[in-house]
Chains A and B, each alone.
Chain A
């Protein structure tokens, strides 16, 4: 209870699903052999943390930010540039963290102060504009960021796949640097999600929900809403940058496509909405569903597209082509905003009836 900050899943099915997901993720290196399964599991961990931090903004303060990938990208690039420039050692990792996290927080502070000073309705638009400018900047400053190619780098000795920590034992498992990295990603993501759970269940988190429900009233009650919103922005940016660092460490690469592109922003939005806004747990569920679908359903679409083109159907092969997978996600997104505004978690908790799942106690 303490570790969940007094905010348990509050639904038997939901608890069961979460436990299964977390156990499966923790046991992935042993249960599902192969690089792909491990990659998928690591991506789920990173995105669960990233989406949870976005949920702090979207679900708890009700403000739509399109700049979340920017902070994610700052974390990724900070660690990538540091490891690329300083060589694979721990000092570089530390430098990346020490530079990346404050940079993300400062930028969030600047955006927050600026866009909260102007009409609140501008927030989504301003973040979109800033994020797109940042993306262009990152791809143009190629001396620093490697441009469109991004930066590949090597990890410190301990985290490399070649480093065998425990050689093959009786059960046939080998613990190497790659698996150690996976557990690093898993542990830090878990810590970040638990920290977010702590934040949203603190008095501060209650104020955020009050602002979401009625900003004017929250202000009338004496809360400095600008301070709270900016603070929430900075916290979300910090966690996003942390997730970015983990992502870069796992991929040993940072580039525009993996850490900055607008499609990642859409993925995050989808995961939050599908999982359930304003619940934090929704992030874990949303990320799991989405990334499993992305990695395994896409190949199914390829099969379907092929079958359709062999059957000589018009249009369908194009619509079912694996590259068009965002089309179906977009439709799913609209449908879930419309029909399940509370997402999977809201459904499991209340059978879909309650409007604001996060606020009900």
Chain B
């Protein structure tokens, strides 16, 4: 141990960059395998866009676990609810959605996304109070309760909207691609990437630059200590839970636009995906979640291009590989 003078800055924890290099290395390895550089660029852009959407959906789940040790198996329900709420806004303004002007489109898209987030967040409040509050600290019951919640939410969506698939057309100005040379990148993917990056940066800023973030990070590290210092961690947790739910709703809207359809079963399909992401990333870690989402999307896109049959189990293979390397995920945050 070296002596530190009072004025010296605190020693920085060692930066663990191996996980960050992982997706970059994966992308580089794929250049010769994919063959044509333009296809590679398109695939990479697609992976990044898909990864950002998954990250938006998964970020809430990982924080909720990290902060309060709560495993929410019903997280997928918020995604589906968000998507359905957006269809409510889209339906009466179909004309504006189809208008080929960017700002007219955005004038529908932005309120739709905000409303979805508000409804998902409010639903998060109800779920936290009704389903999770009674079973704090009991993993088994949390899993059972939230699984029950997922069934109820999904079935309610079926009852309200019917079992059919609802089409969700992409606004006209977001259709098509940007063409750079012989590389085509879909416009919507660029938007998805931008939103995802914005969410990531916003979360990082809040977590690392504000007092609220300091408390959340402290809570993840040691809940009792934060409580002992006089902060109401339950309320903090409720806020994080609602934010996570709202983000899941936003992710649902984006995913619905990406697939251009909405169906209640999307919550099942995505639940598995976001679980793989948070496991790979390490439960509780936002950075790990970000990298995990990109990795999952890359494996899905490259894998789907190179070996279509393999894409079905690619997530599992990726998860096995990562956990063999780091049994607690890329970044293990909690000691739990």
B163: CB under 8 A from chain A? yes
Q: Which of B1-9, B39-47, B152-160 contacts A (4 or more CB under 8 A)?
A: B152-160
Quick one: which of A52-73 are within 8 Å of B by CB?
Answer: 58, 62, 64
A262: CB under 8 A from chain B? yes
A130: CB under 8 A from chain B? yes
The CA of A311 and the CA of B158, in the complex, are separated in Å by: 22
Please state if A337 and B160 are interface contacts (CB–CB under 8 Å): no
Quick one: which of A108-145 are within 8 Å of B by CB?
Answer: 114, 117-119, 121-122, 124-126, 128-130, 132-133, 136-137, 140
Please state if B156 and A118 are interface contacts (CB–CB under 8 Å): no
Please state if A334 and B155 are interface contacts (CB–CB under 8 Å): no
Please state if B272 and A129 are interface contacts (CB–CB under 8 Å): yes
Please state if A62 and B140 are interface contacts (CB–CB under 8 Å): yes
Please state if A64 and B140 are interface contacts (CB–CB under 8 Å): yes
A186: CB under 8 A from chain B? no
The CA of A137 and the CA of B279, in the complex, are separated in Å by: 22
CB closest residue in chain B, given A136: B312
List, in ascending order, chain B residues with CB within 8 A of A26's CB.
none
Please state if A327 and B163 are interface contacts (CB–CB under 8 Å): no
Q: Of B139, B151, B316, B319, which one neighbours A333 at CB under 8 angstroms?
A: B151
| A12: min CB distance to chain B, Å | 29
| Most B C-beta atoms less than 10 A away, residue of A129, A269, A331 | A129
B315: CB under 8 A from chain A? yes
Report A306-346 CB contacts with B as 1/0, cut-off 8 Å: 00000000010011010110110111011001100100000
Please state if A114 and B323 are interface contacts (CB–CB under 8 Å): yes
| A297: min CB distance to chain B, Å | 15
Q: Of A118, A273, A337, which one neighbours B323 at CB under 8 angstroms?
A: A118
Q: Which of B141-149, B167-175, B215-223, B242-250 contacts A (4 or more CB under 8 A)?
A: B141-149
Q: Of B148, B312, B319, which one neighbours A137 at CB under 8 angstroms?
A: B312
Please state if A117 and B327 are interface contacts (CB–CB under 8 Å): yes
The CA of A119 and the CA of B333, in the complex, are separated in Å by: 12
Contacts A324-B155, A326-B155, A327-B156 hold; do A121 and B149 have CB atoms under 8 A apart? no
List, in ascending order, chain A residues with CB within 8 A of B151's CB.
266, 326-327, 329-330, 333
List, in ascending order, chain A residues with CB within 8 A of B283's CB.
119, 121-122
List, in ascending order, chain B residues with CB within 8 A of A266's CB.
147, 151
Q: Of A114, A136, A269, A327, which one neighbours B320 at CB under 8 angstroms?
A: A114
Q: Of B140, B143, B148, B312, which one neighbours A334 at CB under 8 angstroms?
A: B148
Please state if B159 and A140 are interface contacts (CB–CB under 8 Å): no
B275: CB under 8 A from chain A? yes
CB closest residue in chain B, given A341: B141
List, in ascending order, chain A residues with CB within 8 A of B315's CB.
129, 133
**Interface band, chain A:** 35 or more
List, in ascending order, chain A residues with CB within 8 A of B319's CB.
126, 129
List, in ascending order, chain A residues with CB within 8 A of B144's CB.
64, 269, 273, 333, 337
Please state if A338 and B145 are interface contacts (CB–CB under 8 Å): yes
Q: Of A114, A133, A326, A329, which one neighbours B313 at CB under 8 angstroms?
A: A133
Contacts A118-B323, A334-B145 hold; do A128 and B163 have CB atoms under 8 A apart? no
CB closest residue in chain B, given A335: B148
Please state if B147 and A327 are interface contacts (CB–CB under 8 Å): no
Contacts A64-B140, A269-B144 hold; do A334 and B328 have CB atoms under 8 A apart? no
| A316: min CB distance to chain B, Å | 10
Q: Of A64, A140, A329, A337, which one neighbours B309 at CB under 8 angstroms?
A: A140
List, in ascending order, chain A residues with CB within 8 A of B162's CB.
318
Q: Of B131, B140, B155, B327, which one neighbours A119 at CB under 8 angstroms?
A: B327
List, in ascending order, chain B residues with CB within 8 A of A114's CB.
320, 323
CB closest residue in chain A, given B283: A121
CB closest residue in chain B, given A321: B159
Please state if B275 and A128 are interface contacts (CB–CB under 8 Å): yes
List, in ascending order, chain B residues with CB within 8 A of A128's CB.
271-272, 275
6 contacts between A and B (CB under 8 A): A64-B144, A129-B315, A129-B319, A140-B309, A318-B160, A334-B145
Additional A-B contact list (7), CB under 8 Å, known A126-B319, A129-B275: A117-B327, A121-B139, A133-B312, A269-B144, A318-B159, A324-B159, A333-B151
Chain A residues in contact with chain B, CB under 8 A?
Answer: 58, 62, 64, 114, 117-119, 121-122, 124-126, 128-130, 132-133, 136-137, 140, 262, 266, 269, 273, 315, 318-319, 321, 323-324, 326-327, 329-331, 333-334, 337-338, 341
